Chains A and B, each alone.
Chain A
Amino acid sequence: MKNVIAQLRAERGWTQGDLAAHVDVSRQTINAIENGKFDPSLPVAFRISRVFGRPIEEIFDDADA
């Protein structure tokens, strides 16, 4: 699934590790989600949404799904 996490993260000057800390997952998880290798569960997607203050559909694009 495509997403704009890397872009939102860059806007805040956060590393993957920083975002992982906010979302309470490992850095590898954030890396895999950003690269589209892994789709997060709904709870993690909601946490990412809350961290960035954006609705889920603005962060994740399921057009390819």
Chain B
Amino acid sequence: MTTQNAAVRRELRGTGMIALWTIAWVATLALAMFGTDLFFGGSPVVGWILVGINLAVGLGWIVAHARFLHKVDDLQRKVVTDALAVGLGVGVVGGLAYAVAANLGLISFDFGPAVFPVLAAVSYIVATVVGNLRYR
């Protein structure tokens, strides 16, 4: 059916846009993190420019997410917002628990602050899959 396909197409297009923004954000983050020293001799000016670019792309990523939530239908919006809640919760709670354990010397390996967004991203993806399976 045409309209049904339109609803699903909107969702797929929105997901694709978020994927592109995510890739762009990760790329600019990596460029700001490592590129300044690797390619620009550690120039502070270039460093600030790359951080600014990363912030701008990050803002675009946030806007893309907000637009996606407005475009998708009711059920998908619920699945995504539930997954965002799980991702944020696990990222903050799990990440801070890890930080405390690391501070107390209970953990021998140190992942650094990157553990927060990674935890949030993985739990968001898992929660999205579980949500979609639940309402399949």
Q: Which residues of A contact B (CB under 8 A)?
A: 17-18, 20-22, 24-29, 31-32, 37-38, 40-41, 44
Contact of B73 among A17, A21, A22, A44 (CB under 8 A): A44
A32 to B134, CA, bound (A): 9
In chain B between 1 and 23, which residues have their CB closer than 8 angstroms to a CB of chain A? 1-8, 11
**Chain B residue contacts of A21, Cβ below 8 A:** 1-5, 7
Q: Which residues of B contact A (CB under 8 A)?
A: 1-8, 11, 73-76, 78, 132, 134-136
User: Judging by beta carbons under 8 Å apart, are A26 and B78 in contact?
Assistant: no
User: Judging by beta carbons under 8 Å apart, are B75 and A26 in contact?
Assistant: yes
Given contacts A26-B11, A27-B4, 12 further A-B contacts (CB under 8 A): A18-B4, A20-B4, A22-B3, A24-B7, A25-B74, A26-B8, A26-B76, A28-B75, A29-B75, A31-B136, A32-B135, A41-B74
A8 to B5, CA, bound (A): 22
A-B contact count (CB 8 A): 55
User: Judging by beta carbons under 8 Å apart, are B75 and A25 in contact?
Assistant: yes
A45 to B135, CA, bound (A): 18
Q: How far is the CB of B2 from chain A (nearest CB, A)?
A: 7
| A45, closest chain B residue (CB) | B74
| B11, closest chain A residue (CB) | A26
**Of listed B1, B4, B136, residue having the most chain A CB within 10 A:** B4
User: Judging by beta carbons under 8 Å apart, are B7 and A26 in contact?
Assistant: yes
User: Judging by beta carbons under 8 Å apart, are A24 and B3 in contact?
Assistant: yes
User: Judging by beta carbons under 8 Å apart, are B4 and A37 in contact?
Assistant: no
A-B contact list, 14 entries, CB within 8 Å: A20-B4, A21-B7, A25-B75, A26-B4, A26-B76, A28-B75, A28-B76, A28-B135, A29-B73, A29-B74, A29-B75, A31-B136, A32-B135, A41-B74
